[in-house]
Amino acid sequence: MATVLFIKTSSLGDVIHHMPAIAEARRHRPDARFAWVVEEAFAPLVRLHPAVEQTLPVASRRWRHALLRPATWREMRTFARALRARAYDDVIDTQGLLRTAVISRLARGRRHGYDTASIREPLAAHFYDVRHSVSRTLHAIERNRTLTGHALGYAPQGDVDFGLDRAKLAGPVDVPSAILLHATARPEKQWPEERWIALGQTLAARGTNLLLPWGTEAERGRSERIAAAVPRARVPERRPLDQVARLIAGAQFVVGVDTGLLHLAAALRVPLVGIFVGSEPGLTGPMGQGPIAIVGRKGATPAPDEVLGALDQLMVRAR
């Protein structure tokens, strides 16, 4: 039985963008066993994917801030032993960074990655046994699918399928709610707080209950300020990613900026409106088989009325 190790460690959006490659690989290689190296914070989400047999958490984000601590080196050795415990037929690094290329070199198996013209960090290409040409103009999802197809011997085709089942993930919902995703690690991607408040007030006036999840203390403060100004809005407790996935799966709809959780909503086929102000949706925008609308673009901040108009049209299509 063939064994394949995928390396896609972060960020959240990148991890979600890799899921269609895994789902498609399962269709073409139904008897193969798939393992995935991923940052520890995202491991609970990866474990939800039915095609992934083994998840290998790595803590590179945490380790780089504590390299002088003996405990860090013990954890790194433990990870390396787990990585090398099994020999793989193919090791596929779809991240294309020097740090992920080093991880691929530690693994046992034929190593695949992007060639120097296709990769983000060209030095990383020298760590692979087989280098593949993949256009950098493709959407991130298609780059992952293309590289994986090259490595495993098939041509990607068909619609994007993330392999996640919304119905199975969504538990009983006491109070139907929509989710507003205002949080993003990059300030240039943020939508102004006053516009979130204006949008939320209109939705609340229509009788919509709203949830404002968060991940950092700064994001929690932003959620609380918006909720204080918006009736029917609530700030939930912080949850691990698998529970956040279940929360999103049960949402009526999602409105969010270009952030990982927006892509998770797309993966779960939840109706969504993506607000883009600091990035180009053609390269990193949400893709999926559910209802999706995009407003704004890099350098063009949409008004609340534009978002509401897109949402109204979206929900008509979703019925």
**Size of the chain in residues:** 319
Q: How far is CA 19 from CA 41, 105, 159, 286, in A?
A: 16, 23, 13, 13
Q: Which residues pair with 56 in a beta bridge?
A: 37
What contacts 302, CB < 8 A, 6 or more positions away?
A: 275, 277, 295, 296
Domain boundaries, the chain: 3-152, 167-318
The band of 312, judged by pLDDT with boundaries at 50, 70 and 90, is very high
State which fold the 3-152 domain adopts: Rossmann fold (3.40.50)
Q: The pTM is what?
A: 0.92
Alpha helices in the chain (DSSP H): 12-28, 43-46, 60-63, 70-84, 98-106, 140-152, 166-169, 193-205, 217-229, 241-249, 260-267, 281-284, 304-318
Which tokens is 152 given? Answer: 């495993």
SS3 label, residue 285: coil
Question: What are the pLDDT digits (tens) for 230-279?
Answer: 999 999 999 999 999 999 999 999 999 999 999 999 999 999 999 999 88
Is 3-152's fold the same as 167-318's? yes
Mean pLDDT along residues 305-311: 97
Beta bridge partners of 38: 57
pLDDT band at 126 (very low <50, low <70, confident <90, very high): very high
The CATH number of the domain covering residues in 167-318: 3.40.50.2000
Q: What are phi and psi of 300, to 5 degrees?
A: -130, 105
- Per-residue pLDDT of 6-50, as tens digits, reads 999 999 999 999 999 999 999 999 999 999 999 999 999 999 999
